[in-house]
Amino acid sequence: MKCEEIGELLPDYLQGSLKTEQDDLVEQHIAECADCRQEVAIWKKLSLLPVEQPSAGSRERFEAMLRAYQTGRNDKASAGFERPKRAAVWNWLRSPVGAVAWSAALLVIGIFAGNYFGNRTATHSNTSQDEIAAMHTELANMKQMVVLSMLQQQSASERLQGVSFSRREDQLDPQVMSALVHTLRYDGSVDVRLAALDALSRHGAQPQVHKGVVDALQEQQSPLVQVALIDLMVEWRDPDAAQRLRNFVQTPNLNPTVKQRADWALSKLN
């Protein structure tokens, strides 16, 4: 048998779903043909690739999402103006007066339907675009809630994930922003603070982000974060930066590397 014919049988052979005779045929061929043998071998070798475990935060994120979703739905349901209104309209349509009005309306619709027919598809796609837009807003809200809840987790790696999750959105929500600024200032882990700074650095166009970052310098203890903050201030050419840095270099017991960096930054800014 040729390799081509064997090739047709091979996928079934690999899943063990061939009849005995065909199975034998394949095995016979494989014993003789190195190419086909290697194909079988590489398929088997794929089992070497490890089964990976999602992080522990995964379940929590899911639950936060589920809660957010259900809260959102309950809010909508308790607002509940829709149903009575709809019922009233329906009753009116079924009343005799309603029936006459309805028929008249149908007639008018019938007359104009032809004219509007061409435009109909356009209108339809508008509505569905509105729906999609509404869904996106809802989705963004939910993502914010998830970020906010993750930034409050006990474990640093989960807070880190919260920060990296916040970067997925192009627009920075004010609440998320202030949470990130808070993280930058007060988080116990240097890694999380650096990640927060990195996430904030993408939104330098927002004045509040600027202020949050510049304000954070005075309180930082970690040289790594201090240097990163100084670099960012230089990059942004922040108007306050020079004054802040001049105060900053006066800090007693400043790490020499950080001081050097701050001096360099001052020379850049002046």
Partner 1 sequence: MKEQERAETENDQAMKLAPDEDLMLEVRNGAGETLGVLFDRYHAPLYNFYSKLTGDRTLSEDLVQEVFLRILKYRQSYQPGTPFRAWIYQIARNARVDHYRKTPRHITFEPEMVAPVMPKDSAQQTEETELLHRALMQMPDEKREILILSRFQELKYDEIARLLGCELGTVKTRIHRAIQELRQNFKQIERGLAPREAGPAVVKQIPPRRFGNEV
Q: Which two tokens stand for residue 186?
A: 């007060």
x/- letters, 74..113, toward partner 1 (CB under 8 A) = ----------------------------------------
Q: If we measure between CA atoms, which residue out of 153, 144, 155 comes closest to residue 65?
A: 144
Of the ranges 66-74, 87-95, 171-179, 248-256, which one interacts with partner 1 (CB under 8 A)?
A: 66-74
Footprint (CB under 8 A) of partner 1, residues 133-172: 135, 139, 142, 146, 161, 164-165, 168
Query: Which contacts (CB < 8 Å, 24+ apart) does range 183-186 have?
Result: 183/151, 183/159, 184/212, 184/213, 184/216, 185/215, 185/216, 185/219
58 binds partner 1 (CB under 8 A): yes
Q: Which residue, 57 or 177, has its beta carbon nearer to partner 1?
A: 57
By CB atoms closer than 10 A (0-12, 13-18, 19+), residue 222 is middle
Minimum Å distance from CB 115 to partner 1? 33
Alpha-carbon span 79 to 253, nearest angstrom? 59
Answer for the pair 213, 199: CB distance below 8 angstroms, yes or no.
no
Give the residue with the Cβ less far from partner 1, 74 or 247.
Answer: 74
Nearer to partner 1, 14 or 242 (CB): 14
Residue 232 as a binder of partner 1 (CB under 8 A): the answer is: yes
The nearest distance, CB 218 to partner 1, in angstroms, is 19
